[in-house]
Structures are given as C-alpha cells and as structure tokens.
Amino acid sequence: AAVALLRTPGILARLQSSTAQSLDPEMTAAAGLLVHRLLEERRSAIGRWLVEVKGGRSATDAWQEVFGESLVETAQRPLAFWRIND
C-alpha cells in the first residue's frame, strides 16, 4: 500500500504539508520508504546534513548546502525508484 501511495501524483507535497502527528500509517510507511532509499543512496550526505543541523544551521539551508539542491529535488530520485520497482 505504501508503494502504491508513492506512485500517486502530488505525494511529495502531501508528505511535506503533513506533520508527524498527522501522518496515518500508510503515509508514515511511504515516508519511511523514501527515507530508506535516501539512506541507501546518500548515507554520508545525510550524516553531514545532521551535523550541520545539530550545529545550529536551519534544516533547509543545510540541506541545500550539503546536497546542492532542495529536499524536494533530492526526493525525486528515490521516488522514481519506487514508481518503477516493487
């Protein structure tokens, strides 16, 4: 069900506008699949981003600096993975 949800148009906007408290189990699973792929593909960059955020940088600014693109742009690759793979 989570993979099917990741294949729906506008899923990133829905995930971004949600809070941890408002995510239903299916949305939580979908977000978890995206994070899992990001960790597989960009583990060291995620680590650098966490260090920057813990050091006081805003999450958005740190993401842009570490990844060289916005979170939405970064999420497109793992999202594409789940659109074509089960």
Higher-pLDDT residue of 12 and 68 is: 68
Structure confidence at residue 8 as a pLDDT band (50, 70, 90) = confident
pTM of the model: 0.69
pLDDT at 62 over 90: yes
Q: What span, in angstroms and rounded, lies between the C-alpha atoms of 34 and 36?
A: 5
Listed residue (51, 42, 53, 47) closest to 76, CA to CA: 42
Instruction: Return the number of other C-beta atoms located less than 10 Å from residue 18's C-beta.
Output: 14
Q: What is the largest CA-CA distance in the chain?
A: 38
